[in-house]
Structure 1
Amino acid sequence: MEYRNAVFIVTEEHACPIYNVGDEFVIHDFTLTVERNKEVCLMLVQEVLKALTGTRPLHPRFTQTGVRRTKFECGGCTGLIRFEYKKENAYSTLQMNLLEVAKKRAKKQLIEEFFGLLREMEIFEPLDDFDLQDLALLMKLQKYPANKVIIEAGELGTHFYVVLAGTVAVVREDNKVIAEIGPGDIFGEMSLLSGELTYPSVYSKTVVQLAALKAKDFKHVLSRYPILQIFFYRVLVNRAQKNTMRSGNISSGMSGELTDINSVELFQLINSGGKTGQVQFVFDNCQAVTLFNEGEIVFCGYGELEGKEAVFSLLAKQKGLFTFQ
């Protein structure tokens, strides 16, 4: 029973629905423990049991320093992982204990650096601090220099990102910047939610620091916390609506913010589409309405203003909500 008390690490992964390279699990007196933010796979339990009882063929290999490592394999489902013995569960020297404590302290400090930002985000409000810490443990800190491509259009989405510091730009095929994203904002979720290829591209406008969550962990989080699915569904609908408007289409019931599409662009969409209807605006201190007939403005009222004066005042507004009906 060579491995009755040991730590194993995943060294290879191919389409495994749960584990990533670098994940660890612990064997202690024939009990299997994985990291608290991971589920226990029964297929993995079976493979570990075979390894412990000697019924699973082992694959020895040697490192560059000549240290013998035994590799195990789990491929009982749609995916495959290979894992190997890392170390004994208990540390034999004071130096090893101190090293492990230092590593855990550094990881905890790293999480605490961006935990406060995650806590303030609307998306994570339904999670208590303990659950949010679990989520933070799954995320990896990434840094990019300025003008570096983070997401290339036309590829499968691999990560969900939270911007911790700096600014990233969302860019169309014609190199036009259609949005800038700063600290506390998210991106990368559209492809993961829809299963479609990424679009548009995203690159770092400045030096940026991101918290990245792998696609499989993103799906795990949504499964574990169903309440987050509601928020992401709203995000998916809103983003799809914005993309539709940017493509030159608008239909009854669409709503949004002037920070995403200004009044000039909105009126141009209605005019080019020959739409008939009304746009209602809501601002901090007043409301406005503009009526269209086959794309032409037939009435505009903004507070006490009407006609051209009301239109010109509306075109100058940078913030507010609108609904086209």
Structure 2
Amino acid sequence: MGFPKISFRVCETRHCPLFRYGDVLQISGIAIGMENNGENTFLSTTMVHSPPGRGNCKILNGDLTKVIIEYERADQIPDCMISCSGCTGSIRLEHIRDTPAEPVCTAEAIRLAELAPTLSTFSFFRNIDQGSFSKVLTSFRMKQLKKNEIILRKGEPGGKFYVVLSGQVDILNDAGIPITHLTTGEVFGEMSLICDENIGATVQAASDCQLLYTGQQHFKSLLQNFPALHTYFTRLLARRLTDSNKVRSDDYASGMIGKLEEIPPEALFQTLNANQKTGILTINHLSKGTARCSFRQGALIKASYAGSRGEAAFYEILREKQGRFKFSPGLPPEDFDIPEIGYFMRLLMEGLQRIDERTPPRGTG
């Protein structure tokens, strides 16, 4: 029985020496049924047509021959997944009824295919059955972000669902204090899509990071097609509520008050930096009035004192020996993503050096 050409597309690769994601292979051949002592036996000859420059694989040829033996007609072959038995690597293929004129094979698609084995271990993707996983993955895109970039801002419309591929992102409360840290494999952005509401919390890159994301339409399609995701998101919401309540309680207890006579300015600043504090430091009763400094995760982003701002104000504050300070957790929203004044240790060393230069040597008037 003659077969017309049957098409398969490579949807996943694991170190295959010949084929790449998106390659389309076509099979043509003949399968003949014979009866021998009451048992059916099939003889077949097949030819696998590979993309130009890819070569041929005897192992894959044998695996695909089994498809021709199993089905009597090409139109009886279902949309299915086939795994190559592998040599130094392996591939997975999907049967396609219509061959595209030119397969899409972007660098991003190739990268996602290479990451497929790792992504399949993420808690979110474990709710996608294996037969649908590769197709689902094609609807995701990749995005690179720099440290301190705002990814989502509270109150703005949603529209995307994110998975952390590498790095760390922070969920901030209204005061700009991180209440949750999300790392590789964790997700965010889902609540605004599920509830059709604006974004409920600001999300910021805590380091250089790489994300996967998909749009609202595809996200809702996933919820409809994979019921296990409903349980996944319900448990995720319960866990996050518990975590955020604990952080909120810790925030209320994290205020600091004291005197510069007990802890000098340089030690106070170092403490806030080392503990990655977010909030506003107010120092009263200084020789020239009141000073204010703003910190975001330990980085100095604002400083004002005696008519000076930025570095100049910071250096002046370091000279003070007496005063009362209070640290209040939290920042106004407009300060969430402003740049820091400078690398903290450089500022501190420069300030201390200036103090030394202006200190008279011992024994002089």
TM-score normalised to the size of structure 2? 0.38
Which structure has the bigger radius of gyration? 2
